[in-house]
Structure 1
Amino acid sequence: MPATPAGLASLRLLAAVCILLEVGALPSRQSGFRCNDPDLSYPFTGETISMSVIAFITIIVPYLIIWTIETILHRDDEYTIKKNKLLASARTAAFIYRDYIYVAVVNLTVLEIIKCVVGSPRPTFFDLCEPDKLRTCNGSEYITSYTCKSLRFSRYLKIDSSRSFPSGHASLSVYSGLFLAWYLQRRAFSWHNRTVLLVPLVQVLCIIYAVVCPLTRMTDHRHHWWDVVFGAAMGFCSVLYTILVLCKNFSQPAVVSTSDISSSDGNNHQSVRRLLSSQPRVVVP
């Protein structure tokens, strides 16, 4: 995503549309249902992983991890003006995070639009909505027009009862989990580093999150299995685009260290300056 006023304005617009769709401020379609459908008759028991947890892990955690890794990788040299290490690494992390959050917002906006266009009932639809036609319809009659009469749940949950397809939790968890796992592999993992066991541990946690969160959407009966599969596929395609196209597989240049330069024979101050002013080398873990 270009770091321009137009680019930032488009990101804000997408985020605003996404929020309006999520809270029901924009109209959405209500799909019909069949009377006594067992797939829509599960009781609502809450969520194992709430939307606030998903938002925290998707928005906050990636930047903290990227900032930490870039701070560790950052190296100063004696021929450049000394800058605050945390500030310099935060700036580097911001470039990676910018591409990450841009695709996350686009992915979520597309997902919300699909939810509103399809209007698929959730497995807990009857419990959350309590449609007025449910008591009078017979057998497997298909109802297309109804009104939610539930007084036990909020307006948001009643609107959300018809937004099952696709799963936003699955899409965002797969996106953020796989993004961080691959970022750590490219930027932090090394067989010769003392963190050779720590980095894989964090990667495993990221992958577990990407797998367990979508599964909880089915065990909580918040989504049908096809909602989760499609949402996970959206997250997987989004992370491929972010890593390979926007982030160039995390092959950004690193600052040249004087410790690397001093180990070469015949180097003098003039050659060091020429080296530092030339194209930086690319670090390939």
Structure 2
Amino acid sequence: MYFIIVVRMWFVAAVCILLEVGALPSRRAGFTCNDPALSYPHTGDTFSISLVAAITVIVPYLVLWAVETTLQREDEYLKKSKLLTSAKTAAFIYRDYIYGSVFNLTILEVVKCVVGSPRPTFFDLCQPDKASTCNDSEYVSNYRCTSTKYSRYLQIDSSRSFPSAHASLSIYCGLFLAWYLQRRAFSWHNRSVLLVPLLQILCIVYAAVCSLSRLSDHRHHWWDVLVGGAMGALSVLYTVLVLCKNFSQPAVVSTSDISSSDGNNHQSVRRLLSSDAHVVVP
């Protein structure tokens, strides 16, 4: 069952990559001649798509593993390694997180290719052949990019402004981790009360700064960022409530939770732990 799900996820991810690089056909919307909203120079990205992808994929698992390791209770009867047990627990949550991110990315790519909206840097990246011959505010629907300054990928990407993938992915990642930390914070009885809020602030700041940088870099219009952020937030709701069941995953039984004062209870605990039994944390 899990193998089929993984294969499907890889297939969807491959289709998204093909759409992103222009290997599959997509729609290109027209432009208005001399439109000042599309005339900004291309100055690059504060957060590159490679950096956002790396943060979205790598950082959450490291955070999940670190938190689950910290929350793992020491128990003399547990034979499994603490790091291994916490790694497996984190992997189950991470699996659902990745599934939600692929779901989010798929919708983003489909909408981008269907809408085909030009970016604020459209004229600089594409240099459409009709831009020099059109008059006043004439609408041009058929054109060809003639830029020799930028790569073919950037020319294709110049017509994929709506919605913002950076905003969607960063908000998805940041809100997911903030929500996860909040749900797991009830077990941090002996930790600093400021640690969880500090980590949550870092998550929210990353999501906000990455999203707003798309405006300061003139890579998106404000409505691109707004809709992309909304899609990321809705994807978080779907992931944490439907896929992760609000993080009510099972936990390994610990003898510290079982009060025993006689030998029979003591032996029962040993047999229970030796059979790798699990219970659900209320």
In the alignment, the residues of structure 1 paired with residue 184 and residue 213 of structure 2 have an alpha-carbon distance, to the nearest angstrom, of 31
Of 35, 38, 58, the match for 2:36: 38
Separation in 1 of the partners of 2:265 and 2:29? 74
Distance 2:162 2:247 in 1: 33
Q: 1:249 to 1:214 in 2, by over 3 A?
A: same
Residue 251 of structure 2, aligned match among 250, 254, 273: 254
1:134 aligns to what? 131
Partner Cα distance (1:101, 1:92) in 2: 15
Which letter maps to 2:235? Answer: S
2:119 is aligned to 122
| Contact 1:189/1:196 (<8 A) preserved | no
Residues 1:89 and 2:89 are matched in the alignment: no
Residue 231 (structure 1) aligned to one of 212, 217, 228: 228
Q: Distance in 2 between matches of 1:124 and 1:193?
A: 52
TM-score, L = length of structure 1: 0.92
1:108 aligns with 2:111: no
Q: Is the 8 A contact 2:129 2:143 kept in 1?
A: yes
User: Is 2:160 aligned against 1:163?
Assistant: yes
Distance 1:252 1:102 in 2: 17
Distance 1:205 1:78 in 2: 36
Deviations 1:2-28 (A, max 9, x none): x52211110010110011111111111
Q: Percent identity?
A: 72
Q: Residue by residue, what CA displacement relative to the aligned partner does 1:88-111 show, whole Å, maximum 9, x if unpaired?
A: 211111100000001101211111
Cα deviation for residue 196 of structure 1 reads: 2.0
Shift of residue 214 of structure 1?
A: 1.1
Matched with 1:282 is 281
Which of the residues 40, 61, 64 maps onto 2:59?
61
Which residue of 2 is the match for residue 183 of structure 1? 180
- SS of the counterpart of 1:47? coil
Which ranges of structure 2 fall in alignment gaps of 5 or more residues? none
Is the CA contact 1:28–1:116 (under 8 Å) kept in the aligned structure 2? yes
SS of the residue corresponding to residue 190 of structure 2 reads coil
Contact 2:248 2:280 in 1 (8 A): no
Q: CA deviation at 1:78?
A: 4.0
- For 1:137, the aligned partner's letter is C
Q: Secondary structure at the match of 1:157?
A: helix
Question: How big is the alpha-carbon RMSD for the aligned residues of Structure 1 and Structure 2?
Answer: 1.8
Q: Deviations over 1:250-274 (max 9, x none)?
A: 1112222223335x55572244257
1: distance between equivalents of 2:257 and 2:187?
Answer: 18
Q: List alignment gaps of at least 5 residues for structure 1.
A: none
| Whole-Å separation in 2 of the counterparts to 1:103 and 1:147 | 36
Secondary structure of 1:148's aligned partner:
coil
User: TM-score scaled to structure 2, two decimals?
Assistant: 0.93
Residues matched between the structures, number: 279
Write out aligned runs for 1:205-220 (5 A).
Answer: 205-220=202-217
Please report how far the alpha carbon of residue 188 of structure 1 lies from its aligned counterpart in structure 2 after TM superposition: 3.5
Return the alpha-carbon distance in structure 2 between the equivalents of residues 190 and 210 of structure 1.
26
